[in-house]
A and B are shown apart, each in its own frame.
Chain A
Amino acid sequence: MEGTAALLKTFDIARKDLLRSFRSAFLLMFMFGIPLLVTGMFALMFGNLQESASPPETADAGQVSMEAAAAALLDVQSPFPERQPVSSGNMVTNVIGPVMGGMLIFFAFFTAVSAAQTILKEEEEGTLPRLFTTPTSAAAILNGKFLAVGLTVLVQISLLLAASALIFHIPWGSLASAALTALGATGAATGFGIFFVSLLKNMRQAGAVTGGLLTLTGMLGMMPVFASSASGEVSPLLLVSRCVPQGWAVNGLLLGLHSASLGEVALNSLALLIWTLAFLWIGVRRFRQRYMKG
């Protein structure tokens, strides 16, 4: 009975955080508007969007594309009912898709950190201490906050994948591989956000270091985007991108974009899962020490 009550409160806290996140016009612009706008600019710069998005001639039978799923979801006729073939000359798979993937991951990590920072913000605004005066366990409160981070990022990644498939006709691979990468990236971003914020003392400190760290790790993670669009192959230098979780998340999207097998995608998602677990293990422990020591 107590466990059910704690679980319900965890969901209530997550629901409240989601409501606050998705009510903020600034945050919505940040989460969805900027990645789509930047990709749109690339699409305009690098050629005729309409032309680059012309339907492919070949397709793998039996695979459901991300775009088809998005179209089905929105009940519209997809111009790409099936997966697009790998083609070095294809603007969508070699320029627009990688840019969108990079932007998506870059901003997903920003969102995760921003959502996790609400723990510090609520502490400073007094709502977190007030929560601790209610008959709600510290574990339920923290779990609610963590769940909100994960759900916010999951919604962002899912909507961006679907929107970019519809707007830019980006073939993110099969539904299964796109879902695997989306879940892996969500986990890694969530873990990263919780881990990073657990190292911070207050919002002032967060303001000083967040932008720099996220830009640095984000740019490192996006290295495969520019390399793959230039040559179609990943140079050894780009292995540096694998030192940050963003690199693995971007790689997952690129694998889908280049029609890699589900096994390759799953292996990449396994790496993301390891990042997730490592980050969460440290971050959650630190938060528990901070708020549950009494």
Chain B
Amino acid sequence: MNAIEIENLQKSFGTRRAVDGISLAVRQGEIFSLLGPNGAGKTTTLAMLSTLLRPDGGDARILGHSIKHESAAVKASLGVVPQDIALYMDLTARENLDFWGRMYGLRGGALRQRVDEVLEMIGLTERQKDPVGKYSGGMKRRVNIGAALLHKPKVIYMDEPTVGIDPQSRRSILDSVVALKEQGMTVLYTTHYMEEAQELSDHLAIMDSGRLIASGTQQELIQLVGGLDRIRLAINGDVERVLATWRTITGVKQATVEEGLLMLLVEDSNQALPRLFESAAAAGVRITSVEIQEPNLEAVFLHLTGRALRDG
């Protein structure tokens, strides 16, 4: 069963189409990543799915509730982790969680118990009485996530939750996302970090300029670029002569020279590399460096848009 179903969702700001008719489905209990550069329309999509923005066209259903017509039911079933830290810096972590819990309708003993559990979950029980403003960036991010978990939502949106934090906190957040999935939550995760999308996602979609340009599992998306490995080599010798020889080696699909380096597209780098070294030795050429790049989402994005993901 699908937790989120989006149909032809559209939103424009003036003449700019921020979200241009996207459709997708997110299964219950999975981590689904929306991957795309800054300005791709990810946050606007989440704002519509959170009922913060009203779509110009299309609709979406969260656990069967329409974002256009049943916003109260949608909000009750959702936990939203905003991109920027949205907490009261002069209140303590406990006071913040207590307040957000109340906004989700929790009261009394149930609220106190849940705040205790969430503080434990985000590892801030010891520092619960410190004002959030005195926390490190990573700790603030953890409280930011904790505030969305108080009411045990079935669906949680996380909008670039690892932006601007240290590697240790990032690791902790990524682990917590996996833990949420293990607890049965459906996670819709937006990021422009390809590595995060690759590590976390059961399914993912790539957005660019408000449009959904591809979606599926990681393997399905990588098939779009043919599943070829990229090998980049530097050699000490006649590049053109070597190039002509290597084009004839079995498994090498493409060989070009880029900025003085040999760029090869091969079916399997494990099988191709020994042959390349043998051929180089026979020709009296020395290979001075090798870099192997397995096909990844960066290559998919490059293939589909002609731009690198980080170019924006």
Which A residues contact B (CB, under 8 angstroms)?
A: 5, 8-9, 12, 16, 19-20, 23-24, 125-127, 129-136, 294
- A12-B99, A134-B100, A294-B54 are contacts. A23–B75 as well, Cβ < 8 Å? no
Most chain B CB within 10 A, of A20, A24, A130, A133, is at: A133
Instruction: Contact check, B95 vs A19: say whether CB atoms are below 8 A apart.
Output: yes
> Residue-by-residue, is B97-117 near A (CB-CB < 8 Å gives 1, otherwise 0)?
001101111010000000000
- A12-B99, A129-B52, A294-B54 are contacts. A135–B88 as well, Cβ < 8 Å? no
Instruction: Contact check, A12 vs B102: say whether CB atoms are below 8 A apart.
Output: yes
Using CB atoms, name the residue of chain A closest to B75. A135
Interface of A is mostly: helix
In the docked arrangement, what's the CA distance between A41 and B82, Å? Answer: 49
In the assembled complex, B87 has its CB within 8 A of some CB on chain A: yes
Instruction: Contact check, B80 vs A130: say whether CB atoms are below 8 A apart.
Output: yes
- Chain B residues, CB < 8 A from A127: 86-88
In the assembled complex, B176 has its CB within 8 A of some CB on chain A: no
A-B contact pairs, 25 of them (CB 8 A): A8-B102, A8-B107, A9-B103, A12-B99, A16-B91, A19-B95, A20-B88, A20-B90, A24-B90, A126-B82, A126-B84, A126-B86, A127-B88, A130-B80, A130-B86, A131-B103, A133-B51, A133-B75, A133-B78, A133-B82, A135-B75, A135-B103, A135-B105, A136-B103, A294-B54
In the docked arrangement, what's the CA distance between A8 and B80, Å? Answer: 22
Beyond known contacts A135-B103, A294-B54: 15 more, CB 8 A cutoff = A5-B105, A8-B102, A9-B102, A16-B88, A16-B99, A24-B90, A126-B82, A126-B85, A127-B86, A130-B82, A133-B51, A133-B80, A135-B75, A135-B76, A135-B105
A-B pairs with lowest CB-CB distance, top 3: A126-B86, A130-B86, A134-B103
- Chain A residues, CB < 8 A from B105: 5, 135
In the assembled complex, B72 has its CB within 8 A of some CB on chain A: yes
Using CB atoms, name the residue of chain B closest to A141. B103
In the docked arrangement, what's the CA distance between A23 and B85, Å? Answer: 21
In the assembled complex, B296 has its CB within 8 A of some CB on chain A: no
Using CB atoms, name the residue of chain B closest to A20. B90
> Which of the residues A19, A23, A125, A294 comes within 8 Å of B86, measured between beta carbons?
A125
- Chain A residues, CB < 8 A from B52: 129, 132-133
Using CB atoms, name the residue of chain A closest to B50. A133
In the docked arrangement, what's the CA distance between A23 and B131, Å? Answer: 11
In the docked arrangement, what's the CA distance between A126 and B88, Å? Answer: 10
Which B residues contact A (CB, under 8 angstroms)?
A: 50-54, 72, 75-76, 78, 80, 82, 84-88, 90-91, 95, 99-100, 102-105, 107, 147
- Chain A residues, CB < 8 A from B82: 126, 129-130, 133
* Least distance between B14 CB and chain A CB atoms (Å): 17
* Least distance between B65 CB and chain A CB atoms (Å): 12
Instruction: Contact check, A20 vs B102: say whether CB atoms are below 8 A apart.
Output: no
- Chain B residues, CB < 8 A from A131: 103
Using CB atoms, name the residue of chain A closest to B104. A134
* Least distance between B9 CB and chain A CB atoms (Å): 15
Instruction: Contact check, A134 vs B86: say whether CB atoms are below 8 A apart.
Output: no
Most chain B CB within 10 A, of A20, A125, A126, A127, is at: A127
* Least distance between B291 CB and chain A CB atoms (Å): 41
In the docked arrangement, what's the CA distance between A12 and B102, Å? Answer: 7
In the docked arrangement, what's the CA distance between A127 and B80, Å? Answer: 12
Using CB atoms, name the residue of chain A closest to B77. A135
- Chain A residues, CB < 8 A from B53: 294
- Chain B residues, CB < 8 A from A5: 105
- Chain B residues, CB < 8 A from A132: 51-52
In the docked arrangement, what's the CA distance between A126 and B144, Å? Answer: 11
- Chain A residues, CB < 8 A from B86: 125-127, 129-130
Instruction: Contact check, A135 vs B72: say whether CB atoms are below 8 A apart.
Output: yes
Instruction: Contact check, A20 vs B91: say whether CB atoms are below 8 A apart.
Output: yes
In the docked arrangement, what's the CA distance between A200 and B54, Å? Answer: 23
In the docked arrangement, what's the CA distance between A132 and B51, Å? Answer: 8
- Chain B residues, CB < 8 A from A19: 91, 95
- Chain B residues, CB < 8 A from A130: 80, 82, 86, 147
